[in-house]
Structure 1
């Protein structure tokens, strides 16, 4: 059972963690005023990183509110996101959304991300391997 908390292990903490997701995301999920990038992390829990720049969300109080709401939403949906490193990139206009709308939007984004993720259990077989057993 994945703990519902948001402790240190659930965060992308280093530039290297962020760069790994930016450089080769396994999934991209665009939303209204936001983009989610995700990459398999090989761990038994998801990790979250937030990119909410001053350029797109001017006021610190708004940036902090967004971070709180996004982390809270992530906490409630993390059991469906196990094994992913996720970076949330805020775009212009995200700070104007009210909290209920943010919760609703992120609920949908997490579900889309969970649906769109590559399935590590069944990697695609290289051509020719599947029919070699009939030889």
Structure 2
């Protein structure tokens, strides 16, 4: 029997309100490297949620910012069923523009695994 898991990305999986972002920025666990930082905060819901804080200063053009967000959303969508119910804010540094998309995806997968491991103990 093939059990299908939905890989959609509905609005309830996104951080949309400023208060949600402030909460994550105030109380968080940091996961990341030289190119990307993931802030992980508590979530009262049953599903992980994701938000983006990608500054124009770090990624100058809208095309580049949107491409990065597209890659992160796709990776989150594929891995969200493994992630604990936390709020995650993604921030990037300018150096991210020098990495290949495949390397960026691999890095994101490592960070998702790191979040899972850190949240096995009280997160």
Q: Tell me, yes or no, whether TM beats 0.5.
A: yes
Residue ranges of structure 1 left out of the alignment (5+ in a row): 124-135
Question: Where has structure 1 moved over 4 Å in runs of 4 or more?
Answer: none
Deviation at 1:95, TM superposition (A): 2.2
Deviation at 1:118, TM superposition (A): 5.6
- Is the CA contact 1:2–1:45 (under 8 Å) kept in the aligned structure 2? no
Q: Deviations over 1:32-59 (max 9, x none)?
A: 3111111121321100001111100112
Which residue of 2 is the match for residue 73 of structure 1? Answer: 75
- Is the CA contact 1:4–1:75 (under 8 Å) kept in the aligned structure 2? yes
TM superposition score normalised by structure 2: 0.89
Residue 26 (structure 2) pairs with residue 23 (structure 1): yes
Distance (whole Å) between structure 2 residues aligned to residue 117 and residue 28 of structure 1: 12
Deviation at 1:88, TM superposition (A): 0.6
Two-structure CA RMSD over aligned residues (Å): 1.8
Distance (whole Å) between structure 2 residues aligned to residue 114 and residue 82 of structure 1: 6
- 1:48-59 matched pairs, under 5 angstroms: 48-59=50-61
Aligned residue pair count: 120
Residue ranges of structure 2 left out of the alignment (5+ in a row): none
Which residue of 2 is the match for residue 14 of structure 1? Answer: 17
